[in-house]
Amino acid sequence: MVAVLVLFVAFGSAAQAQQYPPASNVLSAELQVGPNCRITYTLVARTYRPGTSVTFTLFSHPVRLGSAIADESGTATLSRRLPQDTTMGIHTIQASGTAPDGSPLTVESTILVQCKKPALARTGSDLAGPLTRAGIAAVAAGALAVLVARKRRANSVTA
């Protein structure tokens, strides 16, 4: 019995604290559209082994976007411009690296790539039609008033 206790003390190790609830493997993507539809992105992948390389790939047709080293919290961040020939639509981004336990870890996220062209500045007013009609009516009423006044003068001079 003493021998078992000695083996346990000699070869046993202290229990490691574990996060609860366990961290979820997450890949988040933020896209921003700049001038001429130049799209930049920031990718953040979590729960990788600190110090290991995480590779980011864009799918429909595989395009390697780059890689980043996971920091001490296991987070890898990559910010760049999306390749110019990327088609608009739905794509999958994948982050591949090493999990904290040493096993391979791949996480995916779906993104929508679209370029909304900026709207032209709006000038003018919605009141243009009604105000134009009111102006025409005022000119017509003024012309009618002038004709009536001339006719009255002509009649009063002859009488």
CB 73 within 8 A of CB 115: no
In this prediction, residues 15-21 reach a mean pLDDT of: 48
In this prediction, residues 37-60 reach a mean pLDDT of: 94
Least confident interval from 5-14, 34-43, 112-121, 145-154: 5-14
Residue in this structure with the two tokens 């982050």, named with its chain if needed: 95
For residue 44, which of 20, 71, 22 has the smallest C-alpha distance?
Answer: 71
70 burial via Cβ count (<10 Å: 0-12, 13-18, 19+): buried
Which CATH code fits 22-113?
2.60.40.10
pLDDT score for 134: 86
pTM of the model as a whole? 0.59
In this prediction, residues 111-118 reach a mean pLDDT of: 79
42 or 8, which is more confident:
42
CB 125 within 8 A of CB 97: no
Domain boundaries, the chain: 22-113
